[in-house]
Structure 1
Amino acid sequence: MTAIWELEVIQQRETTVFMTGWLFDTRSRTEELELELVEPGGRVVGRIPLAAGKPRPDVKAVHPRYPSSLHSGFVAVGAWPRRPRSSDQLRIAGQLEDGRAVEVTIASERWQGAFATQGRWHRLLIGLRTLRYYARRALLLVATGRFGSLREKVSRQLADRPQAPLPTPPAWQALLKGTDPEGGDPETHLIVDHRLGGGANQYRQRLVDEHRDRGATVLVLTFHLASLSPMLLVETARKRLRFSLESTSELLDALADQPLASITYNTAVSFSQAESIPALLVALKQQSGARLTVLLHDYFSICPSHFLLDADGTFCNIPDLATCRRCLPRNPHGFTTLYGGDIETWRQAWAPLIGAADTILAFSESSAQLLRRAYGAVLDDRAIQVRPHTVNYLQARRIPWPAQDQFTIGIVGQIGFHKGSEVVRQLADAIKRAGGQERIVVIGTLESHADPTILRQSGPYTHTELPALIEQSGITVMLIPSIWPETFSFVAEEVMQLDLPVACFDLGAPAERIRRYAKGIVLPSREPDSILENLHRLADETASSRDP
């Protein structure tokens, strides 16, 4: 056995599991990993794909001898076909790059306790386990001297746990009335959103701030993965409270006598039993008379694979239901592992929300068209508004054209699988094999293995740092390698505002805008040789247009 690993957090509730940790082999890179539930006798009851290959520089700092330790992190979120039993076995199994199999068994005492009865002591146990996990991460971060990262991680993960169960109805009503400093009944808004970070969360926070600045109370229904339970945030100008829920249905009773000014569906990605959210929101709209807005940050209402990647990792373009029916059970992408039903049932659950929405806000015409493709029969086209995001945080500037002695391809963001990590890895491999002079700079992080002599990464960055980082990197052309039809793409907008040449694939909002951009090109193929040929052509055309 040459695998070194650690299970950091495991939480299970009924049939749902959330797990984080790291695993690497001392002799070969990990290709894929699954979490398996195994009955006595060896029959595998269920498999949950692990999102593996997550960057873990803290692990690399402790195990510097092994290059594979850098991308050793994994996360699992999914549901088993049945509730695990004490006689079952839990193990991590997968394939290594050299063809060998890897298999590690999780000690029963490590995971069976996670099925403790839901209640006060269960929440305390979860809190202690989470604290232990982040204490270990803290020690690793201190060891590498990254105190700023430590402070951010600990404060973010430990400061946003639920503080208490939802109060009884009388106490709850008193609390909501008490949010108005003048003693009146403040306007109340409800937003549904995940807690995974990214553009959707940033949009939600701006919306929350706008409501709070007007003196309103904002309720955010979200999902706390570390405890696998729904959570309700209450935000006002004076206070921020966090309540745990046993189920999202509690909200219907809690708001029975509470007028709602608006209901906004931002996204329910990562929610356990997310298919129950549409019925809840429609019922709340009917109960309160609130205006209902649905935002298209992703395609979760169309498929649990919310980036519309099929089982083979390719954009599906919403095929016929027979094709979807065959794809969904074997699809590891998005949050398909949290849903055990068929695609017809999923669409039937979400159709009432799409049909009841007063406004459906899309951030590109391409995403609106995909929604029409899935729900044309129930969708009132008059409800759809296309309104791209506003990017106004960059200082207006033009990045100087770099010296042409080095051809450097720039990529921006946290590049996971759906953002094109495999495209980037294959591109780096092709440059290495051919002995090419091109180099790749990722301003952000690549969630894949790539030769460091060809590709370097900046690590996390802020939006305001982007122009300076691009200029310092001497980037010749920008590449957006995303393989899903993004609903907007802030990166595309940022790059165009900086007057840089940029290329993308013929998918979603980036292609919609880059096709009209004078220094842009829509790539005809994902093959590395074709990408390189077209990037060089784009650079040549850009250079010639700048010649006097």
Structure 2
Amino acid sequence: MDFRRLKSVPRLARNLVEILLDRRAAVTVTNLSIRSDQREIGLVRRLIWTRRTVVVAGAAKGADVAFAFDGRKPLEVSGESFKVDLLRPEKSTPLTLTVQYQGEMASLCLTPPGIVRELLARLGAFPKVAADIVLEVPAIFRFLVRRDPSSVTYLRQRFELTDSLASFPVPRDLFGATTPRFPKDPPIIVLPIFDAFDDVSQLLDHLPGSLEMDHRLVLVNDGSSDPRIGERVRAFQMAHPDRTQVIQFDQNQGFVAAANAGLRAAAAVSNGHAVLLNSDTLLPKGWLSRLLAPILDDPTVASVTPLSNTAEILSVPGQGLVEMPEASMVAAMDNVASGFSPVRSTVDIPTGIGFCMAMNRTFLDRIGAFDPTFGRGYGEEVDWCQKARAVGGRHVAATNLFVGHRGGASFGSTEKTARIEAAGRIISARYPRYDSDVQAWCRSAPIAAQRLAVSIAWLAQVSTAPVPIFLGHSLGGGAEAALAGEVSELLAAGAPGAIVLRVGGRAAWQVELIGAGGQQVGEVADLELLFRLLKPIAKRKVVYSCGVGATSPVELPQVLLALCTKDARLEIRLHDFFPISPSWNLLGSDHRYTGPPPMDSKDPVHGIQGSFGSKSVTHRAWREAWGKAVTRADQITAYSVSSATIFQAAYPLAEGRMHVAPHRLRNLPGILPPGGKTIGVLGGINRAKGADVITRLSRSGSNSRIVVIGEVDGAFRLSHPNLVHGRYEPSQIAELAEYYDVGLWLVPSICPETFSFATHEALATGLPVVSFDLGAQADALSEAANGHVFRGNPEDIAGLSAHINELMHT
């Protein structure tokens, strides 16, 4: 523990208060019309003034839009919508927004809030900010004294200092044993049929083998124009005469009439519950008992619907992402669903969905069958379900059942769209709250954990190559940007998706399924549940990206090895030196880099010091644990020659499997004019990144002001007139550099970087760039005409200042 860091508490608290006040005391204006002489041609939906920036978001009908402060070059955008984040001038200057659309022009002057209004907003926000900080004193203590990476992640999320994905908890009791139940009276399956011969044949072929209980079946041939349908239905009835009844319509009457005829016949056949089934479904084995179980458990359940690939709010992995799956895929996805515990197998829903819907006999007898108003189909089951709700019925999803479904096989796409729209108008008129109920259900995401588990099985089935499973962290930065870029490239190349296992978040593990349909993010508390979720993925490629911030970091090598199935490929990416030391930047307790620590190092930062019940881990134990993963690895990728050299010095056995591949650089800033008077520093700057260096440099009497385009660890504070700009987007670097009159960039890291995006971004501007003779930053500067490596050590601030002054005045 380093109690000396406690002296920085006042500075950190003051800086944190300023950051939070800047965010929470923002002045927001909404819905400002942009009008020409004739009409409205745009709308500013949201205007947010902070102390340093202004965010403008809105729409302008595909017009050209320009934003400009007085005396500054305008920023121009075009398209249906816009969102810009601009740096405010030091003086309170209005922002002029100009729109050009089809020969018309309109201007809107956006006046910043006055000093009094901003001050009142900050005063109003202060009590809540102060209270929030006081509540997190224990986490701040762990951050300062124990240098605990997980507390860094927690504090960033707690105070909204980083972007995070919406996530949901995956309950520990998601999986568990279920005992099948069977009803006293045999259920009746009602199957309306209209053409779609291939679907009907597939269903009837699979149906007998999928059923595990006594049942009755009513087949309703709704005037199919394909003569093969009648022959196929009669053949099925002859093969199963005791259980099958056929109703034949000479003319097509539509789904509602066919379903109602089947339901009436069902009532005459048995007192059992009914199951309405579409002919374009594909059923797994043992499906019927699971579909009926909620009704048998609770007589107030009026309808039950399973998960499916096409089932509106119950779609997995999402609506419209998968057409008709193969039988093997249905079996694999249902195999996961069938393992859900009883407590996680039933979830209330606002309506049943009629492609495969169990209907409680009590409610059928009470409210009757479907309303003929809905004609050939769509909306009839929603209407029935709302009537059932009105008399005390519930509708539930059987999340422990997955049924394949093509959807709309009996209708053309044009007719389907028209019928959905017509049904929607009727439903909205009859049940005004229905749409809001559905939206509220979707926002609450009650089946998110089940959807994630079954979606992982889907990913395993559709992937032709081994499924990539990345182990990443939650701290952002270059490692996260590289990981996100790699996943994006995989998707662009046609991969259906990837898995990211993230450490350092609110839970011990975060499981992310990233695919073309978006992201599903589940929080997992323990490894047993994590491995159960990933079990369907037989073919996998395991990639270690970064594990800094893990709750139990010494377990990471064991996790990597456990993730590797027999033929799995394991790759280690050196975004940091965490596999060498818990001090992932290789700085010692004295904040100096002296090379990879020896195996017998007694420096406490190169091991884990036990506290609050946790066990100590020596540096030797750390290296031995990671050595097993390094030995198993098929490839170890370094992003610079210096990183490869350092890693091989620690693990000589890695030789022959090392691969040096610098990151590809995208959207670099352009060349900037020379002659600026400011020293620019890019990125998030903590102690390892040189916070102490720039703090001391700011007090050294240098003739040049320092501006950090990024953020600085709250334990450090620059002296006036040096300043910290705050967060930025890479696309803003050139604009910010010009605004602050940057004439030279300093990369102040006192540790060996593994790559350093900031170094390459600085070099791209053409301005002089200075760093210490360390790591990838020095590699890059040595190869660039505008790169300058300072050969002195990081403690030599006077020498560094003289070196910078000489470059800026050459």
TM-score w.r.t. length of structure 1: 0.67
Aligned to 1:439: 705
Counterpart for residue 585 of structure 2: 307
Paired position in structure 2 for 1:353? 629
Q: CA deviation at 1:312?
A: 1.2
2: CA distance, partners of 1:454 / 1:295: 40
Using a 3 Å threshold, how does the CA distance of structure 1 residues 506 and 161 change in structure 2: closer, same or farther?
Answer: farther
Contact 1:216–1:236 (CA under 8 A) maintained in structure 2: yes
| 1:239-388 equivalent positions in 2, closer than 5 A | 239-285=518-564, 287-322=565-600, 324-328=601-605, 340-376=616-652, 378-379=653-654, 381-388=655-662
Q: Which has the higher contact order (CA 8 A, sep 6+)?
A: 1
* 1:423 match: 693
**Native 8 Å contact 1:190 1:260 kept in 2:** no
The CA deviation at 1:497 is: 1.4
Query: In the superposition, relative to structure 1, how do residues 241 and 298 fare at CA in structure 2: closer, same or farther (>3 Å)?
Result: same
- CA gap of 1:249–1:483, structure 2 versus 1, over 3 A, is farther
Deviation at 1:417, TM superposition (A): 1.2
Closer/same/farther in 2, CA of residues 256 and 91 from structure 1, 3 Å limit: closer
Residue of structure 1 in register with 2:166 after alignment: 159
Q: Distance in 1 between matches of 2:515 and 2:657?
A: 30
Q: CA deviation at 1:164?
A: 4.9
SS of 1:321's equivalent?
A: coil
- Whole-angstrom distance in 2 between the partners of 1:418 and 1:93: 15
Counterparts of 2:775 and 2:162, CA distance in 1 = 35
For the structure 1 residues 215 and 522, does the alpha-carbon distance in structure 2 shift closer, same or farther, using more than 3 Å as the test?
closer
Check 1:279–1:451 CA distance in 2 against 1; reply closer, same or farther (3 A cut).
closer
Is 1:458 aligned to 2:725, yes or no? Answer: yes
Q: Which residue of 2 aligns with 1:475?
A: 742
- Verify the 8 A CA contact 1:162 1:231 in the aligned structure 2: no
Q: 1:94 to 1:271 in 2, by over 3 A?
A: closer
Contact 2:504/2:551 (8 A) holds in 1: no
State the SS of the aligned residue for 1:190.
Answer: strand
Equivalent position SS for 1:467: helix
CA change 1:64–1:325 in 2 (3 A) is: same
Contact 1:479 1:504 in 2 (8 A): yes
Residues 440, 338 of structure 1: alpha-carbon distance in 2 compared, 3 angstrom cutoff:
farther
Query: In structure 1, the residue corresponding to 2:563 is in which secondary structure?
Result: helix
Q: Could you list the per-position Cα deviations for residues 159-212 of structure 1 after superposition, in whole angstroms to 9, with x for gaps in the alignment?
A: 2343555853722875334348xx745642211001111111111112222333
Instruction: Indicate the residue corresponding to 1:530 in structure 2.
Output: 799
Structure 1 residue corresponding to 2:469, chosen from 175, 187, 190:
190
Cα distance, 1:288 vs structure 2: 4.4
Q: In 2, distance between residues paired with 1:197 and 1:462?
A: 13
State the 1:492 CA deviation.
0.8
Over 3 Å counting, the alpha-carbon distance change for 1:77 and 1:305 in structure 2 is: farther
Q: Distance in 1 between matches of 2:635 and 2:143?
A: 45
Q: Deviations over 1:351-404 (max 9, x none)?
A: 11111111111000111111111111x32x221111111112125x3211125x
Partner of 2:448: none
- With normalisation by structure 2, the TM-score equals 0.46
SS of match in other structure, 1:270: coil
Deviation for aligned residue 1:428: 1.0
Displacement of 1:62: 4.5
Whether the 8 Å CA contact 2:599–2:623 is kept in 1: the answer is: no
| Partners of 1:218 and 1:234 within 8 A in 2 | yes
Structure 1 Cα separation of the partners of residues 588 and 162 of structure 2: 36
Structure 1 residue 315: Cα displacement: 1.5
Once the two structures are TM-superposed, the CA of residue 73 in structure 1 deviates from its matched residue by 9.7
> Can you list the C-alpha shifts for 1:120-147, whole angstroms capped at 9, x where unaligned?
xxxxxxxxx99xx96xx6xxxxxxxxxx
The 3 A distance-change label for structure 1 pair 226 and 288 is same
Shift of 1:320: 2.5
> What is the distance in 2 between the residues matched to 1:415 and 1:162?
32
The alpha carbon displacement at 1:224 in A equals 5.1
- The higher radius of gyration belongs to 2
> Does the CA contact (< 8 Å) of 1:51 and 1:76 recur in 2?
no
| Shift, 1:451, TM fit | 4.8
Larger displacement relative to structure 2 (476-485 or 448-457): 448-457
Q: Which amino acid aligns with 2:639?
A: F
Which amino acid letter does the alignment assign opposite residue 588 of structure 2?
Answer: D
1:481: how far off?
0.5
Instruction: Report the identity percentage.
Output: 25
Give the alignment of 1:46-85 within 5 angstroms: 55-57=16-18, 58-59=20-21, 61-62=122-123
SS in 1 for 2:711: strand
Q: Hey, what does 1:488 align to over in structure 2?
A: 755
The correspondence for 1:221, drawn from 498, 501, 526, is 501
Match of 2:300? Answer: none
**Aligned in 2, Cα 1:186/1:446: closer, same or farther, shift over 3 Å?**
same
**Structure 2: segments with no counterpart, 5+ residues:** 23-121, 146-153, 176-334, 340-452
Quote the Cα distance in structure 1 between the aligned partners of 2:144 and 2:548.
26
Q: Within 2, Cα distance between the matches of 1:414 and 1:75? A: 22
- Aligned AA for 1:270? G
Distance 1:348 1:504, change over 3 A: same
Which residue of structure 1 lines up, in the alignment, with residue 514 of structure 2? 235
Structure 1 counterpart of 2:115: none
